[in-house]
Amino acid sequence: MKPIRILYVDDNPLDRELVKDALEHEHDGFQVTEASSREEFEARLAEGGFDLVLSDFDILGFEGLQVIEAVKAGNPDLPVVIVTGTGSEEIAVRAIHSGAADYIIKSPKHIQRLPFTIRRVLEKLRLQAEKARAEADLREALQAWEEIFQAIGHPTFIMDTEHNILAANRATLAATGLTAAEILNRKCYEIFHRSPQPPPDCPMKRLLASGRMETAEMEVELLKGFYLVSCTPLVDAQGNLKKVIHIATDITARKRAEEAFQALVNQAPMGIYIVQDDMFQMVNPGFKQITGYTAEELLGSNRMALVAPDYQETVQKNATAMVKGELGAAYEFPIATKSGEIKWVMEKVTSTLYRGKPATMGYFLDISERKTLEGQLLQAQKMEAVGRLAGGVAHDFNNILGVIIGQAEIALMQVSSSEPLNQKLQEILKAALRAADLTGQLLAFARRQTVSPLLVDLNDSVSAMLKMLQRLIGEDIDLAWMPGYDLWKVRIDPSQIDQILANLAVNARDAITGVGKVTIETDNVVFDETYCSIHADFIPGEYVLLSVSDNGRGMDRETLAQIFEPFFTTKGVGEGTGLGLATVYGIVKQNEGFINVYSEPGHGTTLKIYLPRCRDEAPLARPETEAKPLQRGSETVLLVEDEEAILDTGKAILEHLGYAVLTAGTPGDALRLVEEYLGEIHLLISDVVMPEMNGRELVERITALKPGLKCLYISGYTTSVIAHRGVLDQGVNFIQKPFSLKALASKVREVLGS
C-alpha cells in the first residue's frame, strides 16, 4: 500500500519530533518530510508529491495562515491541517476560513489522534472530489441528454403514465406551431388527435398493458399527415414504469408512395406477387385475372403448384439464377389456371424484404396470345417454305409428264386397239395422268396452280355437287346440306370449289367408321379487329363461310398441327397421298381466304373455310353439263418451247389435230422465224419461263410484227408476268402443263374462236 506523504512545517524541533514519532513510529503508512523555515517549506513544497501539509500555526517569521495561502496558490486540492499549542477559537475559525482542512492542538491526547484525523481529512476530501466529479458528470450527462433531446429531428416528448406531456423538444413545437406552455401538462391525445380519449390503435395504451415498447402507424390530425409513433418505457431501478418517451416519425411521403405503389400494383395488367419460403405472401388482382385464383386461395400455398409439372425444376432454377443476378432475360413457362386452362406466362423475379425478412418479388405477363400467334406464324412460314419446295418439284415434274402423256397419246393413235401394246400404252397413260393429278394438287397447295376466277354463288356450287359427293361418301353416311340465306357471292375458279368439296368429303368419309353424318353449311360472316388480333392470318372484313363437319373419330392436337402439310396422312400405306387437305389449304390461301379446324378425339371434326365477299355485278358462273368432242383445225400455229422433248411432243399433237405447226426452241429463233415467214400465222403458243426473255415479252415483240395474232401461254406454273398468285390477268389465255390431247385441242379452238 502506498504511504501517505506529509510535509510537516514547524520551527520547534521537539514538536516536530513528537508529531513525526506519532505518525511514523506508532502508525504505519505515513512518510513525513520536515521543514523548519519558510525557505525550507517552499523548497520542499516545490518538489511536490505530497498528500497533505501539516503546519504549526505560529512559526518564527511565518504563520500557518501564510502556509495555507502558499499551498492553495499552487496546489488548491492539497489539504492543510493546522497543529498548534495555542488552542483558541479565534485561531481555529481563522484557520478554517483560510482553507484549512482541520485544526489540532499540540497535546499528547490530540497528537495520538493525529493519524486518524489525517485519514479522516483525506477520506473527506476524496469523497468530496468524487461527489464533485459525479455532479459534474451528471450535469454533463443532463446537458448532453438535453442537447440530444432537442436535436432529435422528429416530434419527441416525455409523458407520465396518465398521458400528460412533461417535456417536448423543439421539433414538437415546430411541427405543432404551439408553445411549450400550450403543450406541457396536457393530454397528448387532446393536443395531437383533438379527441377526449386515446385513439383505438394508441401505442401508449398498449404499452401500459404490455410494459414494453409499442409502435403504430397513425394519421395525426394536428400534424396533417401519417406518422410512425413509438412509445418506449422509462423504468426505475425496481423496474416500475415512471415515464414514457414518445417519438413521432413523419411517414407521410412513404405512405403516399405506398398508396401510389399499391394502386399501381392493383391496377397492373400483370400478375405481381411476393413469395417467402416458397409460399405466396401477397398477390395482386392481376394475378387473379390471369390464374383465376383469389388471394385467399393462394396465400400460404406453394408457388410451384401453379407451374406445369414438367417445368417446375426449370422455373425454380431460373428464378434462383435471376435473384442471384446470373440471369437477366425473362423466362417463359406454362401454368395451370383454376379452370384447368393452360396459359403461358413470362416471368421476372427479384429479391426484396417482406416484414423484415428476405423474400422474392415476381411478376409475370400472360403471353398466351403471343405464343398462339407465334405458333401460327411459324406454321405459316413452314407451309410457305414447303409450298415453294412443292411448287418447284411440281413444275419440273410437269414438264416430264407432259412428254410422257403426249407421246403415249400419239403412240396410242398409231397402234390398233386389238394389239397387246395398246393395253400397255393405256396403262402408261393412266399412270401419267394420275401423276399429273398429284402434281396439280401440289401446285394447288403451293398456290402456283393457274386459275380463272369467276363470280360464284357457293349455294349453287354445293347444290350441283351434292349427288357426286353422296356417291363419294357412300350410302351409309348421311349427307346434310344447310345453305345460308341470302348468301354473298365470292370470286373463285369453280373447279377449285369442286376440289375443296371432293377432298373434304373424302376426308370426312375416311374419319367415320360405319354409319355417320357429314354436314355442309354456308353462311355470311363478318370479322372485326378484336377477333383478327388473336388470329394471325385473319383480316377484318366480310366473308362467306363454307363449313364441312363430320361425327367421325376426330383428331388430337399433334395431328391437327400437321394436317395441311403435303404428304402427311393418318391413313395406311397406299390408302392416301396426304395431299387432300394440302390442296384445300393452297386453294383457300390463293383466294385470300382463311381456314380453321376444330376437332377432338371421339367428337368429330369441323373444317371452316372463309372466302372474301365479292361485290362485282358480273354474271354468275354456271357449271358445264355437256362434254365436248375432240376439236380439230387447219390454222398455222407457232409453238415456242425451250424443252426439246416438250416441243417435239406438242408439235406432234398439234399436227395430229390438223394444224400446220412452226416450232422454235428459243425466243430469238421465234422472232427470226416470224420475220422470215411469208405466210399467215394464226396462233402463237409460248412457254412462260424461257431463257433470253419471258413469254409475255416474246408475245409483245411478235404481236408488234403481227398485229391481231392470237396467243396461248403454257407452263408448269406461272410467274407474275401473266398472273398474280396464279390468278390470270383479264384476257390472258393459259393451259397448265401437263395437258392431254383433248385439253389442248379444246383450248386451241377456244382461243382461235375468241
In this predicted structure, the answer to whether residue 629 has a pLDDT above a threshold of 80 is no
| Helix, strand or coil, per DSSP, at residue 353 | strand
Does the domain made of 152-255 have the CATH classification 3.30.450.20?
yes
More confident residue, 704 or 23: 704
Looking only at the bridges linking them, the beta strands covering 477-482 and 516-527 are parallel
In this predicted structure, the answer to whether residue 501 has a pLDDT above a threshold of 50 is yes
pTM of full prediction above 0.85: no
Element (H, E) at 658: none
Q: How do the residues of the chain divide into helix, strand and coil, expressed in percent and rounded to 5?
A: 45, 25, 30
Q: How confident is the model at residue 253 (pLDDT cuts 50, 70, 90)?
A: confident
Return all residues near 228 (Cβ < 8 A) that are at least 6 apart: 215, 216, 217, 248, 249, 251
Of 239-253, 263-277, 368-382, the range with the lowest mean pLDDT is 368-382
In sequence order, what DSSP letters do the residues of 167-189 get, joined into one string? EE-HHHHHHHT--HHHHTTSBHH
Cα→Cα distances 328→231, 318, 349, 358, 539, Å: 45, 10, 10, 20, 37
Q: Which of 466, 499, 506 is nearest to 482 (CA)?
A: 466
Name the most confidently modeled range: 233-237, 390-394, 577-581, 617-621: 233-237
Looking only at the bridges linking them, the beta strands covering 102-105 and 80-84 are parallel
| Cβ atoms of residues 489 and 613 within 8 Å | yes
> Rounded to whole angstroms, how far apart are CA atoms 36 and 51?
19
In this predicted structure, the answer to whether residue 700 has a pLDDT above a threshold of 70 is yes
Return all residues near 199 (Cβ < 8 A) that are at least 6 apart: 189, 193, 218
Q: How many CA atoms lie within 13 A of 734 on its CB side?
A: 25
Look up residue 753 and give its three cell numbers.
374462236
pLDDT at 575: 47
> Rounded to whole angstroms, how far apart are CA atoms 187 and 656?
123
193 DSSP 8-state letter? S
In CATH, what class is 4-129? alpha beta
| Cβ atoms of residues 167 and 157 within 8 Å | yes
The mean pLDDT value of the chain amounts to 80
Q: Does 4-129 match 454-612 in CATH topology? A: no
Does the domain made of 454-612 have the CATH classification 3.40.190.10?
no
The residue type found at 178 is L
Q: How confident is the model at residue 626 (pLDDT cuts 50, 70, 90)?
A: very low
In this predicted structure, the answer to whether residue 320 has a pLDDT above a threshold of 80 is yes
| Helix, strand or coil, per DSSP, at residue 515 | coil
Read off φ and ψ for residue 430, nearest 5 degrees: -65, -45
Sign of dihedral through CA atoms 660, 665, 671, 675? negative
In sequence order, what DSSP letters do the residues of 318-362 get, joined into one string? HHHHHHTTS--S-EEEEEE-TTS-EEEEEEEEEEEEETTEEEEEE
What fold characterizes domain 268-366?
Answer: Beta-Lactamase (3.30.450)
Beta bridge partners of 477: 516
User: Which percentage of the chain shows pLDDT scores above 70?
Assistant: 83
In this predicted structure, the answer to whether residue 401 has a pLDDT above a threshold of 50 is yes
| Helix, strand or coil, per DSSP, at residue 493 | coil
Name the most confidently modeled range: 489-493, 627-631, 731-735: 489-493
In this predicted structure, the answer to whether residue 718 has a pLDDT above a threshold of 60 is no
What fold characterizes domain 636-752?
Answer: Rossmann fold (3.40.50)
23 DSSP 8-state letter? I
The residue type found at 652 is A
Q: Domain coordinates of the chain in residue numbers?
A: 4-129, 152-255, 268-366, 454-612, 636-752
Cα→Cα distances 673→81, 235, 478, 676, 691, Å: 155, 124, 61, 5, 17
More confident residue, 576 or 349: 349
